[in-house]
């Protein structure tokens, strides 16, 4: 097996801004061609792009969704920053949570953009902003805030968009609730309760259900396995997307125990379904690997343990938010998985039939994994090096790497006008 890589330096360097006309740039890259096997073709006049959320900076970079992944522009998603900060400073309770987020999951930084999606017409970017406990819609032409939805509690987190693009689900991580919003207006359609600290959201069944994974307390130092009971109630909540009523809960604790892995945490981190939605693959806290769950039989069927980096400390309290590995994607046909080995500073493409990893691609604190617009590559965010890197599903080798903003995390495919140019800084 390939040896784990040494940890690379994690310097943050200023990045030059190079903007150009989107239509010309995408035409050169051949990036306007639709890819029905991966996603529905863009509406007339829209171009497919990739959005990268720079969490500590409060910006979103727009890059090509395939090819050289060159950066096409940058969007400020905190044009109202001073107003939000004044509201926080004048409210002692909000200030306490704001500082707690900054020193806990923010690693000493504000968390200014977590997740993002575009509206179906490609005119606005909808983003969750953890430190401001809200979701905002940013006009992609003017850079102004179209609408703002404050979530319940004091922190917003991962989102998911419905297959038709009209609704967005956002986790309110301190109130144990998922809000479902109209993506165009920001009006709440409804909400449902979850386990402790809701995190990942996934739409399934063509949009009929929403799966939410709660991860419990991840910002305490009670990380020894004997203290796992302090982490709270962690389970999957499956809600009917029409009524927004929970229809099922799945606690992975007894299922992992039945498989003989009582040593693993039941806090589900990033997760992906196979294209037929028969299998769910997910990462759990503190583990360098992932779990396979069969939906029909309701059983854990396999566990893959991936290599450790010898330079990674075994002190769990040094791992970011209880993560060891954080980030998964699956190739369009379902044959390959891509895994971000966050604290081990690598990413790898795994053969789903054998669960064998491919080459370990050195990466600096990779925090997310998604699929390129043409389905050929896994695209990871390297939060420790301020860049995104593409890895071929076919070869497992790095094919491109481009600089982005400060501490990139979520990476999503979206659409905007083919003649788009970045709005002036607000």
Contact 425, 143 (CB under 8 A): yes
Rounded CA separation 32/375 (Å): 14
Q: Encoding tokens for residue 400?
A: 């491109």
- Residue 305's pLDDT is 98
- Residue 22's pLDDT is 52
Rounded CA separation 407/416 (Å): 24
| Domain boundaries 22-27+43-417, CATH class | mainly beta
Query: What does each of the 426 residues of the chain score in pLDDT, given as a tens digit?
Result: 444 444 433 333 333 333 344 544 444 344 333 333 334 446 679 999 999 999 999 999 999 999 999 999 999 999 999 999 999 999 999 999 999 999 888 889 999 999 999 999 999 999 999 999 999 999 999 999 999 999 999 999 999 999 999 999 999 999 999 999 999 999 999 999 999 999 999 999 999 999 999 999 888 888 888 888 889 999 999 999 999 999 999 999 999 999 999 999 999 999 999 999 999 999 999 999 999 999 999 999 999 999 999 999 999 999 999 999 999 999 999 999 999 999 999 999 999 999 999 999 999 999 999 999 999 999 999 999 999 999 999 999 999 999 999 999 999 999 999 999 999 876
- Residue 221's pLDDT is 85
Q: Where are the domains of the chain?
A: 22-27+43-417
Q: Is 183 exposed, middle or buried (0-12, 13-18, 19+ CB in 10 A)?
A: buried
- Residue 4's pLDDT is 43
- Residue 373's pLDDT is 97
- Residue 223's pLDDT is 81
For the beta sheet containing 377-382, the strands, ordered from the edge strand earlier in sequence to the opposite edge, are: 366-371, 377-382, 387-392, 398-403
- Residue 33's pLDDT is 33
CB-CB neighbours of 221 under 10 Å = 9
- Residue 289's pLDDT is 98
Q: Is 21 exposed, middle or buried (0-12, 13-18, 19+ CB in 10 A)?
A: middle
Cα 26–27–29 angle (5° rounding)? 65
Q: What pTM did the predictor assign?
A: 0.89
Contact 282, 290 (CB under 8 A): yes
- Residue 42's pLDDT is 61
- Residue 335's pLDDT is 98
């Amino acid at each position: 097996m390939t040896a784990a890589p040494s940890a690379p330096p994690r310097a943050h360097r200023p990045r030059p801004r190079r903007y150009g006309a989107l239509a010309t740039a995408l035409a050169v890259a051949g990036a306007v061609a639709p890819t029905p096997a991966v996603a529905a073709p863009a509406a007339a006049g829209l171009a497919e792009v990739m959005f990268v959320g720079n969490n500590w900076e409060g910006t979103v970079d727009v890059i090509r969704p395939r090819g050289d992944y060159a950066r096409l522009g940058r969007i400020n998603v905190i044009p109202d920053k001073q107003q939000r900060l004044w509201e926080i400073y004048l409210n002692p309770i909000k200030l306490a949570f704001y500082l707690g987020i900054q020193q806990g999951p923010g690693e000493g930084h504000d968390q200014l953009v977590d997740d993002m999606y575009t509206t179906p017409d490609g005119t606005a970017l909808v983003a969750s902003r953890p430190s401001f406990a809200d979701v905002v819609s940013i006009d992609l032409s003017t850079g102004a805030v179209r609408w703002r939805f404050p979530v319940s509690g004091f922190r917003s987190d991962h989102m998911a968009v419905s297959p038709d693009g009209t609704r967005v689900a956002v986790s309110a991580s301190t109130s144990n609730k998922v809000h479902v919003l109209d993506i165009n207006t920001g009006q709440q359609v409804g909400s449902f309760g979850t386990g402790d600290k809701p995190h990942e959201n996934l739409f399934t069944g063509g949009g009929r259900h929403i799966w939410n994974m709660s991860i419990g307390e991840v910002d305490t130092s009670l990380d020894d396995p004997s203290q796992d009971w302090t982490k709270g109630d962690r389970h999957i909540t499956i809600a009917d997307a029409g009524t927004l009523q929970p229809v099922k809960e799945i606690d992975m604790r007894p299922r992992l125990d039945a498989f003989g892995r009582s040593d693993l945490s039941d806090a589900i981190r990033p997760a992906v379904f196979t294209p037929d939605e028969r299998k769910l693959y997910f990462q759990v806290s503190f583990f360098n690997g992932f779990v396979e769950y069969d939906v029909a039989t309701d059983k854990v069927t396999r566990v893959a343990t991936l290599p450790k980096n010898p330079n990674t400390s075994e002190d769990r309290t040094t791992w970011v938010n209880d993560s060891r590995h954080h980030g998964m994607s699956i190739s369009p046909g379902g044959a390959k998985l891509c895994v971000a080995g966050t604290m081990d500073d690598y990413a790898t493409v795994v053969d789903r039939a054998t669960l064998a990893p491919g080459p370990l691609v050195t990466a600096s604190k990779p925090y997310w994994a998604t699929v390129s617009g043409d389905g050929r590559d896994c695209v990871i965010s390297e939060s420790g090096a301020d860049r995104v890197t593409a890895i071929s599903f076919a070869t497992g080798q790095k094919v491109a790497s481009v600089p982005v903003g400060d501490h990139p995390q979520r990476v999503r495919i979206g659409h905007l006008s083919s003649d788009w140019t970045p709005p002036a800084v607000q």
